[in-house]
Amino acid sequence: MSPRPLVPMLIGVGALLGVGLLAAAPSSAPSATPSPAPKLVPPLAGRLVVTSPFGWRWHPVTGQWSRHDGLDLAAPVGVEVVAPEGGVVTRIDVAGGERGAINGNAVFVRAPSRVWAFLHLSRVKVALGQTVRAGDVLGASGASGRVTGPHLHLQVTSLGGTPIDPTGLFPPGTFVTRSA
């Protein structure tokens, strides 16, 4: 009986363990590095002052402990609100309508990996189904819906509907608290 060759046996074991022969790969092999995430544009110009952060809070209107799935940003009525990244306008709420009773005038933009919502607007300047690019004007800040004063409520969810804290999407220092 002749001995079995060692090299094929080692290659067979390596294949079973998922070990590849990377040294044999040509140096011109395409890179598997993902492309960098797009740079986001802040939704308001100037200093972004957070008046109510993401997370649990005492609701200023209902007086109940509730989850706040966005950021409230200080803004007087009429400040332009822009898209942080490109996408498609998938929903528009109108103040006084079913959803608009709480959200006021609102715009929802589906981007490649998340959905952006801009609530309590004084005006909406886009149409349902419209494609927008980062920096395009969506509307103007306001005090429509269930609010105590003018501001922009910025909300982000995954495509599956999980709330995302917007502060983690922008560079550190983009948002400041009211006391700062």
For 179, phi and psi rounded to 5 degrees?
A: -75, -15
Q: Does residue 56 lie within any of the structural domains? A: yes
**Residue 106 CB-density burial (10 A; 0-12 exposed, 13-18 middle, 19+ buried):** buried
Measured between alpha carbons, how far is 44 from 113 in angstroms, rounded to an integer? 21
Is the distance from CB of 78 to CB of 137 less than 8 angstroms? no
Measured between alpha carbons, how far is 157 from 142 in angstroms, rounded to an integer? 22
Predicted pLDDT at 120: 95
Q: Does residue 61 lie within any of the structural domains? A: yes
Q: Does residue 37 lie within any of the structural domains? A: no
> Domain residues for 124?
48-177
Q: Does residue 35 lie within any of the structural domains? A: no
Per the structure, how many domains does the chain have? Answer: 1
152-175: per-residue pLDDT in tens?
A: 999 999 999 999 999 999 999 999
**CATH code at 97?**
2.70.70.10
Q: Does residue 75 lie within any of the structural domains? A: yes
Q: Does residue 19 lie within any of the structural domains? A: no
**Position 18 confidence tier, pLDDT thresholds 50, 70, 90:** very low
